Amino acid sequence: MKSITTMNRQQCVPITQSVVCAAILLIITAATAGCQKPLFNEKNPRNQFDTYDTLRQQNQQLLVPDEFGNPQPALRARLAPQN
C-alpha cells in the first residue's frame, strides 16, 4: 500500500511539468512577437497636416533633446500657432 505523500508527489509531477512547458511556450511566443516590424513607418506622414506642412516646407521637428540630451516629443513647437 502506498502512502499518501507518495501518491501526492506522483500527481504533482505531471502538473509541474505542464506548468513549466506552458511557461516556456509563453516566453518563446512573447520573444517572437516582439521581433515584428513597426506598424507605422517613420517616413510616412502621421496625419494630413504633416503632408500639408511638408509641401509648404513648414514641417516641425518631432523630437527635441531635453537638458540631458534625451529625445522628447516637441509638443511646444508642434502645438504653437503657426505664423
Phi, then psi, of 38 in degrees rounded to 5? -65, 150
Please, which pLDDT band fits residue 57 given cuts at 50, 70 and 90?
confident
Cα distances (Å, whole numbers) of residue 63 to 30, 39, 76:
29, 19, 11
The yes-or-no verdict on residue 2 having pLDDT over 80 is no
Phi, then psi, of 64 in degrees rounded to 5? -130, 135
Note the pTM of the prediction, 2 decimals: 0.36
- Between CA 57 and CA 44 the distance in angstroms is 16
- Between CA 45 and CA 67 the distance in angstroms is 28
